[in-house]
Amino acid sequence: MSTRNTGFRALHDVGLAAWFGGSLFGVAGLNAAAQEADQERTKARVTSIGWAKWSPVNAAFIGAHLIGGAGLLATNRKRVKYQKGVTGTTVAKLVLTGAALATTAYTRVLGKKVEDAVIHASPNISSSTTTHLDRGTTQEGRGGAAQAVQEVDKQAGQALSQAAEQLPIGAAEAKRQLSWFQLAVPALTGALVVLSAQAGEQQRPGDQVLGVARRVGSALGVAA
């Protein structure tokens, strides 16, 4: 009997779509638009602010994707074990997911190093990682939730700054690496989209029957 996994599938697919689409827009849209600025410092500031604002949203979607993926893996564990071809696809997805996570995290640390360098070079520019609150709201005592978000955002920014300071490279080298790693994220997540499509095809009834038959045939061949 087949069961529906709409919730897990929605988390998996929407999370991955946002991860891929957001990183692709950042490279093709945000970075390209910032190049229209006249001053180099302005370009760096615009891209730093844009990526910093997207980072917590991206993290939420990545979390949704991982929860959905874990749920799908748990509910399809028998197919992964017994249907030939599914194991390989699953392992490939896990490896790519790990690579995409590591690349995304390192990209954010590189971005924070570049961002901090821009801030230190211009004292009038405040950190783009910290959320700015409306003073009226805060003074009237209605900004409790917003203040909590600000505090979490501030702590995350401080942790990123500490990690960025540990990098054995300067701001110029970080900026050069950043351009390549920002390209790697949509490449890796795009490959995950393709593998997810393949995994969906493997759930066709005919593919399931054929995959199990091949697995059994391989097992009998080894036993013989």
Confidence of residue 162 (pLDDT cuts 50, 70, 90): confident
The lowest-confidence range among 53-57, 60-64, 213-217 is: 213-217
- The DSSP annotation for 147-188 comes to HHHHHHHHHHHHHHHHHHHTSSS-HHHHHHHHHHHHHHHHHH
- Looking at residue 170, its pLDDT comes to 87
Q: Judge if pTM exceeds 0.85.
A: no
Measure the CA–CA gap between 110 and 167, rounded to whole angstroms: 8
Long-range contacts of 194-198 (CB under 8 A, 24+ apart): 195/89, 195/92, 195/93, 195/96, 196/12, 196/13, 196/16, 196/93, 198/89
The CA-to-CA distance between both ends of the chain, in Å, stands at: 32
- Looking at residue 16, its pLDDT comes to 97
**222 pLDDT more than 70:** no
**20 pLDDT more than 90:** yes
- Looking at residue 133, its pLDDT comes to 39
Confidence of residue 136 (pLDDT cuts 50, 70, 90): very low
Average pLDDT, the chain: 80
Q: What is the DSSP letter of 26?
A: I
- CA Rg, the chain, in Å? 22
pLDDT tens, residue by residue, 22-51: 999 999 999 999 888 888 778 888 888 899
Domain positions in the chain: 6-223
pLDDT tens, residue by residue, 64-107: 999 999 999 999 888 887 777 788 889 999 999 999 999 999 99
**202 pLDDT more than 80:** no
Measure the CA–CA gap between 81 and 103, rounded to whole angstroms: 29
